[in-house]
């Protein structure tokens, strides 16, 4: 199947954006089509307009931020879904709540997802093994993407500038012996280490709740990689930008180790976290701050699957 411009949206995001766009007046919908497609597409009806907007939008967040997607429309969409938000919520708060709502639905539906069946016409054993490997890679990548959408959604929702989430963030999402290594580089490099679910959870929480940071992961263009060890540890590496209100402060790189919970089906808990934040004033000249990418290859991520996985993330060299 060919990759389309929808690659930046999950199936749930496509469905949600389609429902939300259907609430727009026809004039606003057509005006939005002109903006998104730079007037290259002239739809004949509303459904063609919605199709074109989704096709040429790079991500759900980009679409929701468009001027013609009014704050009132997002509020109305959430209301139709039974999601209660303050009528005085600003647009960026409504966008965050909408994304969180979609992530919650993804999490609830995860148990119903089916693995892709191998090609029934493949008869050679080597071909079957390669097909199985590709299916597993897609499955783990989907799990990593879903995890990041959920984790950053629930963490960012604790930011007082956005509003509290109905979901509970806390140590219950970490293993009791979880470990965090946190490196942040502004005027100088600082390193912190935390052990135990409670302390790891609280330190990450303080970044968004006390320091009012917003971690925006890049899940589209090279910002997400993952691998799995023979023993079932999934390593997820994600890069993104760090914001406070409307100001972009720098970039971050975060690596998670996830282990399946043996007592709860389709539940994964965090074993370790390596987080590195680099402030804009400490970045190397020429660094692209808008689209930070993960430099690790899968083979390098495998090194995090062994005891030395807790080594501090070293700066990536160009």
Give 47's strand partners.
none
pLDDT at residue number 177: 92
DSSP letter at 157?
T
CA distances from 147 to 49, 107, 138, 174, 191 (A): 32, 9, 14, 13, 26
- Note the pLDDT tens digit of each residue in 160-183: 887 665 567 899 999 999 999 999
pLDDT given for residue 49 in this prediction: 92
* pLDDT value of residue 134: 54
Query: What is this structure's pTM?
Result: 0.54
What is the three-class DSSP state of 198?
A: helix
Residues of the chain with pLDDT below 70 are 1-8, 104-137, 163-167, 221, 264-266, 282-291, 296-299, 301-302, 305-318
What are the tens digits of pLDDT across the range 275-310? 999 887 755 555 556 667 777 666 676 677 654 434
The closest of 137, 151, 61 to 106, measured between CA atoms, is: 151
């Amino acid at each position: 199947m060919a990759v389309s411009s929808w690659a930046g949206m999950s199936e749930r995001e496509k469905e949600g954006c389609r429902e939300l766009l259907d609430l727009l007046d026809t004039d606003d919908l057509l005006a939005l089509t002109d903006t998104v497609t730079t007037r290259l597409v002239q739809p004949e009806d509303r459904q063609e307009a919605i199709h074109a907007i989704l096709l040429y939008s790079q991500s759900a967040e980009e679409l929701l931020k468009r001027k013609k997607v009014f704050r009132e429309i997002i509020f109305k969409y959430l209301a139709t879904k039974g999601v209660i938000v303050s009528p005085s919520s600003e647009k960026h708060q409504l966008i965050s709540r909408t994304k969180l709502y979609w992530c919650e639905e993804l999490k609830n539906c995860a148990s119903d997802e089916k693995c892709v069946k191998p090609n029934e016409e493949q008869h050679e054993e080597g071909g079957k093994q390669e097909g199985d490997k590709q299916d597993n890679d897609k499955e783990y990548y989907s799990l990593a993407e879903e995890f990041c959408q959920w984790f950053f959604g629930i963490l960012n929702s604790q930011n007082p500038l956005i509003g509290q989430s109905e979901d509970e963030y806390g140590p219950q999402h970490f293993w009791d012996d979880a470990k965090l290594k946190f490196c942040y580089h502004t005027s100088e490099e600082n390193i912190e280490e935390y052990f135990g679910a409670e302390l790891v959870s609280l330190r990450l929480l303080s970044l968004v709740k006390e320091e009012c940071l917003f971690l925006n992961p890049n899940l589209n263009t090279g910002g997400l990689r993952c691998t799995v060890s023979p023993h079932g540890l999934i390593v997820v590496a994600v890069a993104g930008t760090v914001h406070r209100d409307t100001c972009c402060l720098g970039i971050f790189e975060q690596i998670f180790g996830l282990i399946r919970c043996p007592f709860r089906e389709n539940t994964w808990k965090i074993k370790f976290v390596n987080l590195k934040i680099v402030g804009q004033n400490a970045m190397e000249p020429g660094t692209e701050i808008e689209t930070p990418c993960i430099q690790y290859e899968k083979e390098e991520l495998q090194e995090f699957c062994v005891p030395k996985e807790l080594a501090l993330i070293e700066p990536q060299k160009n």
